[in-house]
Amino acid sequence: MEDYSFHEQLPDGVTFGFEISLFNDSRHLALQSADGWNSFYAINHKHQRADAIFSAHLREQVARSLLKSPFGGFEFSDDLPLPVLFQFISFIEARLKSKGAASIVIKNPPHDYTPENASLIEVFLVNHGYQTADAEAGCILHAHDPRLEINTWEKRKLRQAIEAGLSFRQLSLERFDEVYFFILACRKKKNYELSMTLADLRHAISYFPDRYILFVAEANEKIVAASISVKVKEKILYNFYVDHDQEWDHLSPVVFLIEKMYRFVQENKMDALDLGTAALDGKPNFGLLDFKIRLGGKATTKFTFRKILN
């Protein structure tokens, strides 16, 4: 511990000893809320670097990590000594309690982003008295697999889409509104909504234009399926919003779209394509989960932990 100390502000001249996700970036936190943020750092004095970060938004006695993002939680260097990480959790709890927090809610990233670190933090949180508030199943396509392990039925749909002449394109962000409204219209036909408004998502893209990517599948230059994807880390692409025109159900164009996005991930030397979770009202959405597994997705977990502070 002598080489480490805990801080609520990043000291001048200190850099991160690991890559933080987009959602823990201070600029992204400000997009979610202009105030209420509390960020904590474990500083390695020997190397003048931050080896851990945790951010939470405090409102009405509840500290949430994070507020409007798909996940938050602890992010830390592989070099961080485990006793330091364990004590870092205690430090954060004490500081949030002193600021009026009565409970802490932590939505972890998918386990497969950093499997070893995820296993450690899950155990340490339980050791500190946290309980599982939500458990979601998700799927990730790992780019090191030479090709997708698509099941026979989806392979057939992929072949039909190719034979029908569907094409794949990455669009410029100038066409963001078009893609957003296409996906929104598809969702409304199924009586679903999107979690972010056009204005909010457009605002996020204006701050991080290199992090958001638009993909489409087209038939005769008409969009039949589309994805708004996010580079949550340099080597992880998150399929944030995706949908297709129901008139093209017979070709399942999302299968074609995902297969091409997987090729994009491989060609750009990324590690994984996150297909997202498959949950509805706290229970598995089995139809969606089965579909993602049939596309070759490997199941992963995404836990939300909660603790009442005494």
| Sequence ranges of the domains in the chain | 4-137+303-308, 145-270
4-137+303-308 against 145-270: fold identical:
yes
> Cβ(45)–Cβ(4) under 8 Å?
yes
The two three-digit tokens of residue 76, written as one number = 């830390």
In a 3-state reduction of DSSP, which class is residue 131? strand
Q: Quick one: which of 48, 54, 55 has its CA closest to 17?
A: 48
Question: How far apart (Å, rounded) are the C-alpha atoms in residues 130 and 306?
Answer: 5
Q: Centre a 10 Å sphere on the Cβ of residue 82 and count the other Cβ atoms it contains.
A: 10
- pLDDT recorded at residue 256: 97
21, 60, 207, 227, 304 from 296: Cα distances, Å:
25, 42, 33, 18, 25
Question: What pLDDT was estimated at residue 166?
Answer: 97
> Letter for the amino acid at 151?
N
- The two tokens of residue 309 are 């502070």
Question: Is 3.40.630.30 the CATH classification of the domain at 4-137+303-308?
Answer: yes
Q: Are 89 and 49 in contact (CB under 8 A)?
A: no
List the pLDDT tens digit at each of the 310 positions of the chain.
779 999 999 999 999 999 999 999 999 999 999 999 999 999 999 999 999 999 999 999 999 999 889 999 999 999 999 999 999 999 999 999 999 999 999 999 999 999 999 999 999 999 999 999 999 999 999 998 777 889 999 999 999 999 999 999 999 999 999 999 999 999 999 998 999 999 999 999 999 999 999 999 999 999 999 999 999 999 999 999 999 999 999 999 999 999 999 999 999 999 999 999 998 888 899 999 999 999 999 999 999 999 999 8
Say if strands 131-142 and 272-277 run parallel, antiparallel, or are unpaired: antiparallel
Calpha distance 104→183 (Å, rounded): 34
Quote the Cα angle for 115-120-121, to 5°: 100
Residue 217 and residue 168: Cα distance in Å, rounded?
5
**DSSP at 13:** T
Q: Which distant-in-sequence residues (6+ apart) come within 8 Å of 103 by Cβ?
A: 61, 62, 63, 306, 307, 308, 309
What stretch of H or E contains 239? strand 236-244
Q: Looking at domain 145-270, does it have CATH number 3.30.465.10?
A: no
The pLDDT value recorded for residue 148 is 81
pLDDT at 145: 78
pLDDT at 281: 82
